[in-house]
């Protein structure tokens, strides 16, 4: 059974800036009104962002990345579909070793998110 990992929030206080750190409470939850797709550029991107048919994983990506309204993540050995329409955590090393690369299918092919998308 798949269990979604919990989110952990760590709150720190600079000692000389806060009189009573125990008075802290998290703000009320703000409902999301947009999804990642509201921020993605729908125009054709530079070729360097698209997986070409000659790429060693192209056939596997092409088979697994079917939906145009979903962000997928290439996880070194498999493709994971992000089903909640929220952007996955973006890290500085995404794509440097082929791990956690956010990928979408658009009108022009299968592509990585661009720095502007991110």
DSSP class per residue in 55-71? STTHHHHHHH---SS-E
Put simply, whether the predicted model's pTM sits higher than 0.75 gets the answer no
95: nearest Cα among 60, 58, 49, 54? 49
The rounded distance, in Å, linking the Cα atoms of 112 and 50 is: 6
User: What are the residue boundaries of the structural domains of the chain, listed by start?
Assistant: 29-112
Place of tokens 């009108």: 107
Classify residue 33 by burial, with Cβ atoms within 10 Å: 0-12, 13-18, 19+: exposed
* Residue pLDDT, tens place only, 60-90: 999 999 998 888 988 777 888 888 767 777 7
| Least confidently predicted of 22-31, 93-102, 108-117 | 93-102
């Amino acid at each position: 059974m798949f269990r979604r990992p919990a989110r952990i929030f760590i709150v720190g206080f600079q000692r000389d800036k806060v009189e009573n750190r125990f008075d802290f409470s998290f703000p009320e939850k703000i409902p999301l009104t947009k999804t990642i797709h509201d921020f993605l550029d729908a125009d054709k991107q530079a070729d360097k962002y698209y997986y070409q048919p000659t790429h060693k994983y192209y056939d596997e990506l092409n088979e697994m990345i079917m939906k145009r309204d979903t962000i997928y993540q290439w996880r070194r050995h498999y493709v994971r579909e992000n089903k909640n329409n929220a952007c996955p955590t973006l890290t500085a090393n995404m794509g440097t070793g082929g791990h956690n690369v956010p990928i979408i299918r658009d009108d022009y092919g299968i592509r990585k998110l661009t720095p502007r998308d991110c």
